Chain A
C-alpha cells in the first residue's frame, strides 16, 4: 500500500518532477527518427537535430562531423539535465539520483584499469570516460596493481567502496579478473540500489523494483550468452547473477548450465513476462535479442510516467535519454557507413 505520497511528495520533489516531465516531452518522436533515418550525411543529422533540444549542443561543431562527436554532445545534454536536477534535489531524492550514476562510475573504473593494463595514456582514457561517472580521484586508479591497492588507494572514499567487499584480492589485475570485478561490482550496486528503493517504500519501491528486476534479469541473460564458449565456469557464472529478479533463484540455476542460445530461450520462455521477447526471434538467433530487450525496457520505462509522486520518473527519464543517444549513435553509424538499409535494425522508438 502507498503511504499518502500525494500529501507530501510535492513539498520537496514537486518542482523536480515537473522538470523531469518537461524533459520527457522533449524526447525524440517517431517522426523525428523517420527524418533522421533519411539523412544522407552526418551534417544532415546535425541539421535535423538543430530543431530539437540537442540543437544548442551541436550548433558550434565544425564539419566534417564524426559519430563520436554527435554522441558526446548529446551526452552533454543528459549530463546538464542531471546536474540541474541533482543540485535542486534534497534527501532522499539526491541519494536516489546519485545511485543512477554508479553504473557509469563502475564502467569508468574498469575503463581506466583496463587501459592502464594495456599501457595507455591516462589522459586519453579520461577523455573516454562517461561524464556521469566521474569522481575526483579517478586518475589515481592508474597506479594500482591489484584490487586491494585499487580499493585502498582510491575507491575507499568513493560510493563504490561498499561494493568491493566481495572482490578484494591481492591477485594482479588481468583481463579475466577485471571482467569478474566489473560484474561483481555491478551486481553489488544493483542489489544495493534495490534495497534502497525498498526502504523508500510506496510507489517508488513498487515501480523501481520492477525496473531493477528487469535490469537484473537482462544482465543475467547477457552474462550467460556472453560467457558461452569462454573459460568462465558455471559456478563463477552463477556468482555474477544478482540475488533478486524474476529469475532468482530457480531461473539462475538453469541459466548457469546453459551452453547455447536455444537453452537460454528455453529458460526464459518459462517466465510469461519474457515470452514476448523471444517470440520475436527465430531459433538460434541472438542478433536481435538486444533490440528486443531494449524495446521491453522502453515500454516499462514509459509506463513509469503514468503514475505520479514517485522517484521512478527520474530513473526512467535518464534511461530513456540513454536509449535515445544509443539510437542517435546507431543512425549516425549507418549514415556514415552508407548502410541506411540497416538503420531500423537497432533503433528503438520511444513514442
Chain B
C-alpha cells in the first residue's frame, strides 16, 4: 500500500506548479473595471497548527503567488472587497474601513440534511445521498437565473460534504445585506430546528417558484426515496408518518401510494414530504453577510485532500465527488506525463509561449486530472469577460 505524503509536503508542490494563479487572478480582477478591486479584496489563510490569519491582501498576481507559495496555507478563504487594502486596515481611521462588495454566495452542507438521510450522517457522504446536492444545484441554479436574472454562477465542490455557489454578476456583488438575506429567504422552504417536526408547510396559492422546484424534486424523488429506503425500517416509516396529517388512511409499505382526504388544509402533504426530504437547505448566515469569508475554489480540503473544483453543470448528473482529484493524486500525476492529445497540445504551447516558466506551469496542471476543471473555469471566465468588455468600453466613452 502506498503511503500518501502528508499535506505539508504536498502543498508547496501544489502552489508552485498546479494552482491556477492566472485564471484565479483573472477572476478576481474582474477586468479592472473598478479600481483596486483586487487590491482591496480580503483573503484569509489557515496555516499549520490551526493558525488563522485574516485581512490578507495583495497588490498584484505576482504578490499573491509569492505570498501563497511562502505561507503554503492549508486553506484559503475569500472575503469581501473593502474600502481600503485589508492588510492596512489598522492604519485606517476607526469606523471608515468597511466591506463594500462581494459575490453572492450559497453554502449547501450535507450535515444539514441529517434528519432525513438514512445512509450517512455528519461529515460522511456517499453516492446515495449525493443526489441531494444534485437536486439542490438544479433548483437553486434555475431560481437564481430565471427568477433573479443572474447569469454568472460558479458552482464549486467544497471538498468533503457539500457545494458552494458563487454568483459573480455585478448586480449580485453590489447587493446589500438586506437584499442578500431576502434572496436567501425567498429560496428557503425548509424551516425549523430540532424542535420542529414538520418543516415544510405549503398553502394556496402555490408560488411558481415552489412549483418549479417541485418539478425538479419529482424527477429524482422515486429513485432517491428507494435508495434511502425511507420506508424501509419502522423508525424511518415513523418519521414519514409524523409528517402525514392524522386523518389520512394508509401507506402501503415500500410504496408511497397515499389515499388523501378532502380537507383543503392538508391537500399538499405529499409535496410537503418530498420537499422536506429533498429541498435544498441553505445556511442563511453564509449568504447574508457582505464580509462573510468562504472557502476559495481550488483550495484543498485539509481532511480529505480533495481540491475544491468547479462543477460543470452540463455534466451534473455524472458528477462523482469521489472522483474529484486529491492533492496527492495530482502531485503524483505531475511526474507522469499524460498520453495522447496532451502531448500534441504541449507542443503547441511551446510555440506560443515565450516565458519558459509560464510554459512549464501551463503544461503542469494540464498533465493532471485538474486540467478539465481549470478548463471549465476558463470557460466560465470567458463568459463574464464579455460584461467587463462592455463596461470598459462604456467607461472610455466609446459606447
Q: Do A and B bind each other?
A: no
Binding site for A on B (CB under 8 A): none
